[in-house]
Amino acid sequence: MTQPQPEKIWTILELLRWTTDHFAKQGIETARLDAECLLAHALGVDRLRLYVEFDKPLAPAERAGFRELVRQRADLRIPVSQLVGRREFWSLSLTVTKDVLTPRPETETLVEAALELAPERDAELRILDVGTGSGAVALALASDRPKALVTATDVSPAALAVARANAERLELSGRLRFVEGSLFEPLADERFDLVVSNPPYLSNEAGVVHARELAHEPPLALFAEEQGLALLRALAQGVGERLLPGGAAAFEVSPEQADRMAGWCREAGLLDVTQRRDLARRVRVVSGRRS
């Protein structure tokens, strides 16, 4: 009589290896990172703990919870940030929901550019973040410029609710103001030392190509008319009158839009218009300064 085979014992390291391979076969670019984040979340530990206890065997109940997370990531393409409810950006832990765009690593390039445009850490700046979403960029700037007052706008009330909650949890809400409205419209005649924006700049065609990956994020935060250029052009044309003398602006773009955005900024009277590359060496930010 054949004896039943004992159930395989899965350790943390074995699960990470299997899941990484599974994600990679599904075309997920950040396979290892996603596997680590989901397993750490399922076990209620940080990612470092996974490697401290890499040979720890996991109970069936622990694997069951993790298995469901893996299924949703691989089969439904739900972003890891939504599965775990948070995302790290600029060393800040942000709450993320289906109502906001998941902060991308390349958007940290926008923060870097903005901080270089306003290099004095203790300057009493007035900063505007147009289209704040989760509040990622506004909160990053507020955390690095402790005397700045930051205004953050968005057309989505749901997104602003997420941003406010993030500001309160990070104890930065005292220096942030959240305003509902499109672009510069809700700001009357206010002017600022620094204006930043990561607006929707994908074309509708990009949504068709990447439908599975983008389906769980708000279209309003991703897509714009005119091949993704409509809001970028409006920002460039309107930013000059929103800047104080000597003030600066920085905008996130897709690489193929950078030259056109730089031209619009020059036409609007901005000086020292530059393009900045992200860690992947792709042009990601266009910036300039009012005379």
Mean pLDDT over 243-250 rounds to 96
Residue position matching structure tokens 């004896």: 3
The per-residue pLDDT of the chain, averaged, comes to: 91
Question: In the chain, which residue ranges form alpha helices assigned H by DSSP?
Answer: 12-25, 31-43, 47-52, 60-75, 80-84, 108-117, 136-144, 157-169, 204-209, 211-214, 230-239, 258-267
Question: How much is the pLDDT for 131?
Answer: 96
Residues 64, 130 share a domain? no
If asked whether residues 171 and 71 sit together in one domain, one would say no
Q: Does residue 249 belong to any structural domain of this protein? A: yes
Residue span of the structural domain in which 239 resides: 87-289
* Per-residue pLDDT, 51: 86
- CATH code, domain with 21: 1.10.8.10
The pair of structure tokens assigned to 55 is 């040979």
Asked which of 26, 52, 76 is the last residue of a domain, the reply is 76
The answer to whether residue 207 scores a pLDDT higher than 60 is no
In a domain, 156, yes or no: yes
Query: With bands split at pLDDT 50, 70 and 90, how would you rate the model's confidence at 210?
Result: low
The count of domains in the chain is 2
- Residues 79-96 have a mean pLDDT of 92
Q: Which of 26, 42, 76 is the endpoint of a domain?
A: 76
- What pLDDT, on a 0 to 100 scale, did the predictor assign at position 205? 72
Backbone angles phi, psi at 254, to 5 degrees: -85, 155
* Same domain, residue pair 40 and 108: no
Please indicate, yes or no, whether residues 66 and 109 belong to a single structural domain of this protein.
no
What pLDDT, on the 0 to 100 scale, is given for residue 8?
Answer: 73
Q: What is the pLDDT of residue 165?
A: 97
Same-domain check for residues 232 and 103: yes
3-state secondary structure of 101: coil
The whole model's pTM is what?
Answer: 0.88
Q: Is the pLDDT of residue 1 over 50?
A: no
Q: Which token pair is 39? A: 């397993």
Q: How far apart are the first and last CA of the chain?
A: 88
Q: What is the CATH number of the domain that holds 250?
A: 3.40.50.150
- Indicate if 36 and 170 belong to the same structural domain: no
Q: Inform me whether the pLDDT recorded for 11 exceeds 50.
A: yes
Task: With a cut of 60, say whether residue 45 has pLDDT above it.
Answer: yes
